[in-house]
């Protein structure tokens, strides 16, 4: 399982020139391969490795820039260039007839990983659940939209246009609750006009995991412009969170509609001896094979610059999560904001102040590709990596356990609405159980001395005594995971002989930070020469409007140059037929209004013929214009004069009532309150705005 040391006592890497003999004849089966190629087509770099059995298994690597962008726009070009570089290093002929000359296996993240926007109704409830589901599926979450996030609809649409996600996750609304919120979020997505980055002519995937009763309305709103996948509600009620169906759908859509869209990807699939795997999936496959040779579970951490993947595996079953805000370069400040400087200082012997940590890590964040210039800077990054690993693993086990959202009791509504950061409090290490083996991978874990890697894993996780520690040998595990799709036996053998570098066991001699280690400096990039001349940029309204200036006009930073003339208003779905107790097809004969008419709150919408002294009627709960009639439902677009932004209010606390499935309905006009069922027919969405006709408070929250 653990790789032996090389003759120099270091890792058995293929960094120097290696001579190989001629190509062996094609084997009868993949398990009999004696040499083969593995490629990893990344977002910026394409890496290739040649594995050979002559004289004992070994490998040598080379790389070349990935050619997903112009002028090539063909990832196969970058792969061939990497093979040429590997041929120059090994003295072998590896390309014949513009294709690999040896059996090729491949992984890919050339689509840039899965960039996702999650959306929910309330930031602290359904939007938070959607965020966890997206992270659990391995997505990089670009943004989380919520009706109470403080942004106007126009701002949300503009942000979506700028972010250009690969996939949108829509959630919101408990099953049987109001329909307005999920449909309104779908309208925001539709107005943004999103399309895949690499294939603008194709449909953008949208996963809907909200109120099941709003599914068809969401499908109607998004129409044929999006690839809509509906899954069970991830928050069917206040106390339940079911994210697994959502995570599975996101992963499947990524495989089929994101990774395969890289230009030239089809050429690579024609060259490979097995299906191309996403790089994280290949890593997971290698970890799965590891568990076949261990007596207990395996925990693996792959820490990068912007994200950190965590895997747990036992008996071949692997669970993966990704923390999109934990990394050692682009996400470094997010780590510091989460844990605070004291958590890092606790792992260092130097008498530094919290301000020193902020300054040094802030400088790294400003120049994320730079390496530490001093031994002290290196030790600070090692300590930061330890706490980053701690937080990523904590989040991983929280997702696996399906922990419900933190209770909202005692939350200050001002903190929620103003996004005031809570004070950072020390947190204990995560409960990692009793893993048989912990594996570290990723930049800082793969390029640091073994003692420093062991110290990062021990300080970050504090595993039980006797737990084996190991490091991924020069990022070879994803390569071997790709091989495992066709030759699992050979892949298992190579994982044992080449895959891991042993770091000892927990509970014995605790390693100390190396005091004089400084990584080799990278070549300085040549800065672009300064350019002179006017700066031109384009600004667009989120939705159509009017331009208020003309070419040649002088403007300053406060000049209004354009404004949208169309208000973006919420739709209300009034379940009239259900309230009147009639079949949906009988609704048209009972209506007392029609599309295009404006109705005030309290106006008659529909009524049944009088029966004696009894009269059954439906009155509008809000003011607005009738937009259309659906089977059994009247769609009302809200009155622009009554439109308000959503805000989170702990109504149960303020009214001194117990939150429950039976909500409290509050009339802002009269100040009275009465018991009512949340999400009843015809109720407007949760909206606590002075002057509104009525507001429904769901489970104590509005």
Other CB atoms within 10 Å distance of the CB of residue 18: 16
For residue 313, list its beta bridge partners: 298, 318
pLDDT score, position 423: 47
pLDDT digits (tens, 9 = 90+) for 240-268: 888 888 888 887 787 677 666 677 888 88
The whole-number pLDDT of residue 523 equals 55
**Number of Cα atoms under 13 Å in the Cβ half of residue 690:** 0
Token pair for residue 234?
Answer: 């991830």
Q: Count the neighbouring beta carbons within 10 Å of the beta carbon of residue 630.
A: 18
Q: Does residue 301 surpass a pLDDT of 80? A: yes
Q: Given its phi and psi angles, is residue 98 left (phi above 0), alpha (psi -120 to 50 degrees) or beta?
A: left
The larger pLDDT score, comparing residue 643 to residue 78, is at: 78
Asked if pLDDT for residue 702 goes beyond 80, the answer is: no
pTM value? 0.62
Average pLDDT across the chain, whole number: 78
Residues 286, 370: contact at Cβ < 8 Å? no
Residue 681 has pLDDT above 90, yes or no: no
Q: How far apart are CA 10 and CA 475, in angstroms?
A: 15
CB 678 within 8 A of CB 238: no
d(CA 490, CA 34): 10
- Count Cβ neighbours within 10 Å for each residue of 354-369 and write b for 16 or more, e otherwise: eebbeebbeebbeeee
| Residue 310 in this model has a pLDDT that exceeds 80 | yes
Helices (H) and strands (E) in the chain, counts: 20, 27
User: Is residue 43 a contact partner of residue 61, using CB atoms and an 8 Å limit?
Assistant: no
Max CA separation in the chain (angstroms)? 100
49 has pLDDT over 50? yes
Residue 686 has pLDDT above 50, yes or no: no
pLDDT digits (tens, 9 = 90+) for 582-600: 988 889 999 999 999 999 9
DSSP 504-545: EETTSSPP---SS--PPPPPPPPPPPP--S--------SS-E
Between CA 371 and CA 377, with CA 376 as vertex, the angle to 5 degrees is 30
Long-range contacts of 274-278 (CB under 8 A, 24+ apart): 274/30, 274/105, 274/482, 274/483, 274/485, 274/486, 275/485, 276/106, 276/107, 276/108, 276/482, 277/106, 277/107, 277/108, 277/481, 277/482, 277/485, 278/107, 278/108, 278/109, 278/254
Nearest alpha-carbon partner for 620 in 605, 631, 610: 605
- Decide if 444 contacts 370 (C-beta within 8 A): no
Between 136 and 45, where is the model more confident? 45
| Contact in structure between 471 and 503 (CB atoms under 8 Å) | yes
Give the SS3 label for residue 270: helix
Tokens of 300: 């693996």
Cα angle 20, 24, 28; round to 5:
145
What DSSP assignment string belongs to 139-158? Answer: -EEEEEEETTSS--HHHHHH
- Give the pLDDT confidence of 325-359 residue by residue, as tens digits: 788 887 888 899 888 999 999 999 889 999 999 99
Phi, psi dihedral angles at 496 (to 5 degrees) = -65, -40
> Beta 617-619 vs 624-630: how paired, if at all?
unpaired
pLDDT tens digits, residue range 516-565? 888 876 555 555 577 777 777 777 776 677 889 998 898 888 888 888 76
Q: What pLDDT is attached to residue 324?
A: 67
> How far is the C-alpha of 118 from the C-alpha of 317, rounded, in Å?
27
pLDDT surpasses 70 at 442: yes
Task: Spell out the alpha helix ranges (H) of 193-259.
Answer: 215-222, 244-257
Could you identify the residue written with the tokens 């090692």? 382
Q: What is the pLDDT of residues 207-246, one digit of tens each?
A: 999 999 889 889 988 988 899 999 999 988 888 888 888 8
pLDDT tens-digit readout, 364-413: 888 877 888 899 999 999 999 999 999 999 888 887 776 544 443 443 43
């Amino acid at each position: 399982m653990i790789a032996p040391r090389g003759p120099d006592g270091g890792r058995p890497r293929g960094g120097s020139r290696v001579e190989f003999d001629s190509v062996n004849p094609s084997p009868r089966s993949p398990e009999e391969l004696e040499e083969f190629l593995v490629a990893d087509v990344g977002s910026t770099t394409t890496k290739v490795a040649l594995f050979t059995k002559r004289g004992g298994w070994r490998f040598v690597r080379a790389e070349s820039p990935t050619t997903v962008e112009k002028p090539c726009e063909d990832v196969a070009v970058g792969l061939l260039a990497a093979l040429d570089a590997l041929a120059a290093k090994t003295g072998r002929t590896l390309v014949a007839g513009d294709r690999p000359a040896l059996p090729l296996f491949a992984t890919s993240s050339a689509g840039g990983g899965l960039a996702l926007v999650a959306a929910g109704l309330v930031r602290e409830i359904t939007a938070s659940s959607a965020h966890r589901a997206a992270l659990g599926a391995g997505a990089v979450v670009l943004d989380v939209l919520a009706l109470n996030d403080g942004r106007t609809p126009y701002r949300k649409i503009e942000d979506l246009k700028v972010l250009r996600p690969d996939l949108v996750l829509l959630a919101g609304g408990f099953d049987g609750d109001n329909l307005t919120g999920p449909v309104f979020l779908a309208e925001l997505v539709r107005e943004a006009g999103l399309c895949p980055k690499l294939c603008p002519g194709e449909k953008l995937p949208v996963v809907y995991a909200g109120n099941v009763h709003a599914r068809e309305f969401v499908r109607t709103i998004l129409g044929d412009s999006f690839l809509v996948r509906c899954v069970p509600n991830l928050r069917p009620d206040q106390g339940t969170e079911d994210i697994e169906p959502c995570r599975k759908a996101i992963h499947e859509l990524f495989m089929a509609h994101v990774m395969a869209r890289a230009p030239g990807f089809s050429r690579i699939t024609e060259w490979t001896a097995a299906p191309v795997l996403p790089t994280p999936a290949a890593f997971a496959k290698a970890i799965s094979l590891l568990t076949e040779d261990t007596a207990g579970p395996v925990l693996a951490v792959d820490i990068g610059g912007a994200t950190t993947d965590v895997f747990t595996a036992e008996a071949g079953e692997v669970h993966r999560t990704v923390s999109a805000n934990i990394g050692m370069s682009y996400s470094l400040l997010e780590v510091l904001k989460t844990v605070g400087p004291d958590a890092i200082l606790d792992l260092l012997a130097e008498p530094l102040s919290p301000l020193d940590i902020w300054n040094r890590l802030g400088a790294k964040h400003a120049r994320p590709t730079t390496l530490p210039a001093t031994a002290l800077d290196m030790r600070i990054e090692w300590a930061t990596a330890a706490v980053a690993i701690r937080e990523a693993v904590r989040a991983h086990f929280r997702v696996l356990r399906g922990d419900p959202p933190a209770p909202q009791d005692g939350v200050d509504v001002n903190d929620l609405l103003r996004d005031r950061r809570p004070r950072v409090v020390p947190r204990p290490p995560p409960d990692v159980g009793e893993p048989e083996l912990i594996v570290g991978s990723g930049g800082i874990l793969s390029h640091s001395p073994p003692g420093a890697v062991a110290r990062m894993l021990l300080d970050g996780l504090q595993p039980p005594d006797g737990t084996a520690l190991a490091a991924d040998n020069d990022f070879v595990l994803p390569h071997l995971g790709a091989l495992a799709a066709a030759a699992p036996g050979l892949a298992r053998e190579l994982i044992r002989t080449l895959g891991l570098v042993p770091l000892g066991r927990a509970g014995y001699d605790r390693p100390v930070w190396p005091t004089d280690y400084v990584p080799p400096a990278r070549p300085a990039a040549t800065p672009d020469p300064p350019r002179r001349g006017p700066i031109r940029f384009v600004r667009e309204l989120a939705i159509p409007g009017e331009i208020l200036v003309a070419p040649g006009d002088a403007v300053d930073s406060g000049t209004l140059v354009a404004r949208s003339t169309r208000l973006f208003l919420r739709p209300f779905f009034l379940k009239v037929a259900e309230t009147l107790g009639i079949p949906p097809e009988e609704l048209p004969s009972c209506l007392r209004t029609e599309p295009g008419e404006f109705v005030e709150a309290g106006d008659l919408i529909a009524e049944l013929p009088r029966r004696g002294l009894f009269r059954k009627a439906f009155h509008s709960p809000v003011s607005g214009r009738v937009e259309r009639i659906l089977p059994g439902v009247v769609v009302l677009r809200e009155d622009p004069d009554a439109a308000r932004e959503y805000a989170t209010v702990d109504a149960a606390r303020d009214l001194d009532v117990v939150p429950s499935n039976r909500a409290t309905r509050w009339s802002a006009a009269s100040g009275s309150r009465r018991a009512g069922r949340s999400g009843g027919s015809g109720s407007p969405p949760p909206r606590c705005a002075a002057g509104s006709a009525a507001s429904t408070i769901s489970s104590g929250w509005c």
